[in-house]
Amino acid sequence: MPSTEVHLYPDSLSPGALKTEDEHRRDICTAGRWIHERAYVASTDGNISLRLDPRRILTSPTGISKGMMAPDDLVVTDLDGHKLSGRRNPSSELGMHLLIYKRRPEVNAVCHAHPPVATGYAAAGIPLNKAILCELVLSLGCVPVARYGTPGTPELAEALEPLVQSYDAILMANHGVVTCGPDLLTAFFRMETTEHFARVALVSELLGKQVLLSGGDVEKLLAARTRYGLQTGATVGPDCPVTSDTAAPERITMTRRELEALVDEAVQKALEKDRQQR
Ligand SMILES: [Zn+2]
């Protein structure tokens, strides 16, 4: 017999932030299942929230798999994180969600997860800021890395503070990714886009070559973004994204044998000079 759960909480999520509280509760559970199914989190990691109204936030609780939440597991808090209702407790990482809601009045939803490839970049301290994908220039611009902050302490929000105003997706050093948007579907899509971009960036790095778009290519994309009226807070600036015009000169790579030959040659020259001076 098919699970009644599937019929109660269908696997779809409509755009928009104007919904009943029941609809918002179902949406958070659906987004939680998507994040879990895509392995963007392990165990009870990750957290999702949305703005119910100017004073109330609906959020996933602590200590539960994001793939197993039911609507009445969710917690309602105020903008300072005080619990208003719910039998469970909010995540200790709620502070970073609240920071984003306070700084970005147009943001109505926040997703935090640990998708493995983007989190790998975060662990390496490497931002996803190269203009290698036209779609990403259009949607996110680039994804910076916030410095490390201990989870469960105010450090986590403090580390994000300099970046939340300008970016819709941020890598959190040695931790994960946080995304936001005008509604939950957009915030979730931005998490999906960030992980997808990280995978493409990784493959191009494994192939040993990245052909960056030029500054002119990026300008044309930005003009198209304005023309299409795309709703995005994506920041662009001198180094965001890095284009073929602004990239640092390419690194020189060589084989071990070539390096040994160079070292040998230098040593021989030094010995020869030494002999001549004696
Ligand atoms: Zn986390």
pLDDT of residue 250: 58
Q: Which comes out higher in pLDDT, residue 231 or 187?
A: 187
Instruction: Quote the ligand 1 centre to 242 CA distance (angstroms).
Output: 28
CA separation for the pair 188, 41 (Å, rounded):
13
- Dig out the tokens for 144 from the structure: 């910076």
Q: Which of 40-54, 159-173, 187-201, 257-271 has the lowest mean pLDDT?
A: 257-271
Instruction: Quote the ligand 1 centre to 275 CA distance (angstroms).
Output: 62
Instruction: Quote the ligand 1 centre to 60 CA distance (angstroms).
Output: 13
Query: How large is the angle between the packed helices 94-103 and 155-164, nearest 10 degrees?
Result: 30
pLDDT of residue 259: 83
Instruction: Quote the ligand 1 centre to 158 CA distance (angstroms).
Output: 15
- Dig out the tokens for 194 from the structure: 């960030």
Instruction: Quote the ligand 1 centre to 178 CA distance (angstroms).
Output: 9
pLDDT tens-digit map of 115-140: 999 999 999 999 999 989 888 888 88
pLDDT of residue 6: 45
pLDDT tens-digit map of 55-89: 999 999 999 999 999 999 999 999 999 999 999 99
CA separation for the pair 33, 37 (Å, rounded):
6
Instruction: Quote the ligand 1 centre to 63 CA distance (angstroms).
Output: 12
Instruction: Quote the ligand 1 centre to 151 CA distance (angstroms).
Output: 7
Burial status of residue 273 (CB atoms within 10 A of its CB: 0-12, 13-18, 19 or more): exposed
The average confidence (pLDDT) of the chain is: 89
- Dig out the tokens for 212 from the structure: 């960056």
Q: Which amino acid is at 48?
A: I
Instruction: Quote the ligand 1 centre to 210 CA distance (angstroms).
Output: 30
- Dig out the tokens for 150 from the structure: 């201990």
Instruction: Quote the ligand 1 centre to 125 CA distance (angstroms).
Output: 16
Instruction: Quote the ligand 1 centre to 197 CA distance (angstroms).
Output: 20
Give the whole-number percent of the chain exceeding pLDDT 70. Answer: 91
CA distances from 80 to 76, 101, 147 (A): 11, 10, 23
Instruction: Quote the ligand 1 centre to 12 CA distance (angstroms).
Output: 25
